[in-house]
Structure 1
Amino acid sequence: MAQSIQSHRKDEHVFLAEKYFQAAASAGFDQVRLLHNPLPELAVADVSVRPSLFGWRWPFFINAMTGGSAQTQALNAQLAAVAAACDLAIASGSQSVAIREPALAGSFTVLREHAPSAFILGNLGADADAAALHRAVAMLDADAIELHLNAVQELVMPEGDRDFHWLANLQRLVAESPVPVVVKEVGFGMTREALARLRQAGVHVVDLGGRGGTNFVTIENARRPDRDYAYLADFGQTTVESLLEAQGCGMAVIATGGVRTPLDVLKALRLGAGAVGISGLILHWLIQDGQAATIARLSAWQAQLPALMAAVGAQDLAALRHVPVVLSPALEAYARQRNLALP
């Protein structure tokens, strides 16, 4: 049977995400300084990095990437094996293609097959109906589900949607979902105003999905004959700007976008994230170096994060929120112009 446009697009996304991967991200973490404490008075063994979100063991996880084709089924199997080996939560790529084409469900169910005990998040678009949500959760025996916001991606996508009436539908889905819902941007960030509207709609957990990591303008524009949307490549709020927007938002916050080091994780947690999602970097490791090397690198992060916490004198994530931080003049100006509380 011929591969559908939607399924082929999943393979294109993986190819283009790796082609345009940037080792040095532009998510704003370089504009945040954690001040060194020469007297931390703390041992690494006494540090807890356990987040309050979902009862996870670690405050970072493998965020949404792929699924929907034979190639991505193999990648999902490896990603799930990595999650299982490192005791990390993992999110699926969008399952919408498998809702339309049930024969592709195996490219997603491999997540549960290879990570039977992992916390798995399903994934659908914000326009999904309740029936699709229930099918997506059942497909993965999912513990939670991400509902993604991707208006800019859809605009640049040659075959993308053009109707973005999402808020009322999100409110219905949050109320009807059998599992917790995470409303997630895909890489263009969020504003204080949008966060307030999501909270009013009953949303309890948001993934800010900031600019600076995988760039869906660049990816979708590469699929356009005239490459005519290149000027939107730096559109949106960075991950760090989005974290500033989220100060005091009253919801649990996940920070995703351009995370490259354990220090980036530490900075995101200091700025208010309850957990940190990593996607493009892990995909890059997996494609370039394989499953064993990816497990080894994530295991190293798990060893380094408590060490970094001890170095700044933070025994747990609550204490980390009080570590002194200095923002660059550009970030400070952003916060001032937006009338945002400084962290």
Structure 2
Amino acid sequence: MIADRKNDHVRLAAAQHRPDDANEFDDVTFLHHALAGIDQADVSLATGFAGIGWDVPLYVNAMTGGSAKTGDINRDLAIVARETGVPIASGSMSAFLKDPSTAGTFRVLRDENPHGFLMANVNANATAVQARRAVDLLEADALQIHLNAVQEIVMPEGDRSFRAWGARIEEIVEGAGVPVFVKEVGFGLSRETVLCLRKMGVTVADVGGRGGTNFARIENGRRSSGDYGFVDGWGQSAPACLLDASDVGLPLFASGGVRHPLDVVRGLALGASAVGVAGTFLKTLLDDGPGALITKITTWLDQIASIMTVLGARTPADLARCEVRIRGGLREFCTDRGIDVHRFARPFPTVP
């Protein structure tokens, strides 16, 4: 049953991929300064957070594992990560924790990418011992804990008990032996949630916002009655989450609804240390194979550097000093939450 569910997730996630759909990343625009440009040779894509350094501000976010088919996908993703140098997260390893025979469908991520930055992934019901098993299997550099209460209530066989999540996260942080990143799966992290995560000792909060792969829709598609359609638009977008939690003091990652390199740069400009992509990369892999995904990611990295060149940003961190405008539904969100959007009207210092 687990293998069937994992295969269903991949099929339904790919089916809902619509790269031309608008989302709240479109509500973030840069004010163009025609003399702000620098030489692309001076641009570095290296990013850092909590004492960790990555060569690029882009990562392959959690997708899958737990069946023969998804093991093949993980093998291809690991090869792509190895060839492009991007960090990568495993999909939820709950299947491995329930059935050790599925270990190889996850371990392939390390076997094919022995020197890359690899994140294991467990849910918030996992014990510290289980989390350590997941980390050890992958020889992981970090651990993702995914929060997915909305997905679980729609999932026919999903969990219905979430009260212990906070205590479990604290236990995992204490016992994982590696930095712990907590991510939403597509419904966003509020400022209040990020504050709680900081107090728990979490290293990074990946906001995992609305606008990308919709796991409520996926699970509703697995229900014979399809009677949970009313939660289809639940949650906050990644840009909304970044703005909401910008002053909390915990490193943020942006994911959810990232369609192209400009969205990556927008996320970095709103304060993310790195930006994760899953659905867009999965679709390319399934349609055209790992070679095409290697080309796509390589192209994205060059295009990110090109946009930074025009903006006058030598590093991803410099993007947080660029002048952006917030409009549309995202601006309404900021008004409702008491966020001053005018503080993002900040002239970049390289402009004469």
In which range does the TM-score fall when normalised by the shorter chain? over 0.9
Q: Which residue of 29, 34, 57 corresponds with 2:30? A: 34
Separation in 2 of the partners of 1:133 and 1:330?
Answer: 38
In the other structure, the counterpart of 2:119 is 121
Deviation at 1:111, TM superposition (A): 0.4
Separation in 2 of the partners of 1:279 and 1:318?
Answer: 23
Separation in 2 of the partners of 1:308 and 1:74?
Answer: 34
Separation in 1 of the partners of 2:77 and 2:196?
Answer: 34
Q: Which residue of 101, 106, 109 corresponds with 1:108? A: 106
Deviation at 1:57, TM superposition (A): 0.4
Deviation at 1:41, TM superposition (A): 4.2
Helix, strand or coil at the partner of 1:105: helix
Q: Could you list the per-position Cα deviations for residues 176-203 of structure 1 after superposition, in whole angstroms to 9, with x for gaps in the alignment?
A: 2100000110000011111111111222
| TM-score, normalising length: structure 1 | 0.97
| TM-score, normalising length: structure 2 | 0.94
Q: Which residue of 44, 52, 75 corresponds with 2:48? A: 52
Deviation at 1:336, TM superposition (A): 1.6
Show structure 2 runs of 5+ residues with no match.
345-352
In the other structure, the counterpart of 1:300 is 299
Separation in 1 of the partners of 2:31 and 2:270?
Answer: 13
Is the CA contact 2:273–2:317 (under 8 Å) kept in the aligned structure 1? no
Separation in 1 of the partners of 2:242 and 2:162?
Answer: 24
In the other structure, the counterpart of 1:159 is 157
In the other structure, the counterpart of 2:226 is 227
In the other structure, the counterpart of 1:149 is 147
Deviation at 1:204, TM superposition (A): 2.4
Aligned residue type for 1:63: N
Helix, strand or coil at the partner of 1:80: helix
Q: Could you list the per-position Cα deviations for residues 144-193 of structure 1 after superposition, in whole angstroms to 9, with x for gaps in the alignment?
A: 01001000000000000000021111111111210000011000001111
Separation in 2 of the partners of 1:176 and 1:268?
Answer: 31
Separation in 1 of the partners of 2:27 and 2:21?
Answer: 12
Identity of aligned residues (%): 44
Aligned residue type for 2:317: A
**May I ask how many residue pairs the two structures share in their alignment?**
339
Show structure 1 runs of 5+ residues with no match.
none
In the other structure, the counterpart of 2:263 is 264
Aligned residue type for 1:213: G
Root mean square deviation, CA, Å:
1.1
Summarize the alignment of residues 132-211 of structure 1 with structure 2, pairs less than 5 Å apart: 132-165=130-163, 166-211=165-210
Is the CA contact 1:37–1:313 (under 8 Å) kept in the aligned structure 2? no
Separation in 2 of the partners of 1:61 and 1:139?
Answer: 20
Change (3 A) 1:69 1:41: closer
Helix, strand or coil at the partner of 1:106: helix
Separation in 2 of the partners of 1:74 and 1:27?
Answer: 31
Is the CA contact 2:37–2:311 (under 8 Å) kept in the aligned structure 1? no
Change (3 A) 1:65 1:76: same
Q: Which residue of 10, 14, 18 corresponds with 1:22? A: 18
Confirm or deny that 1:339 pairs with 2:338.
yes
Separation in 1 of the partners of 2:31 and 2:228?
Answer: 40
Separation in 1 of the partners of 2:133 and 2:315?
Answer: 38
Q: Could you list the per-position Cα deviations for residues 47-100 of structure 1 after superposition, in whole angstroms to 9, with x for gaps in the alignment?
A: 112110331100011010000000001000000000000011000000111111
In the other structure, the counterpart of 2:349 is none
Runs of 4+ in 1 over 6 A off after TM superposition: none
Change (3 A) 1:15 1:41: closer
Deviation at 1:341, TM superposition (A): 4.2
Separation in 2 of the partners of 1:233 and 1:41?
Answer: 41
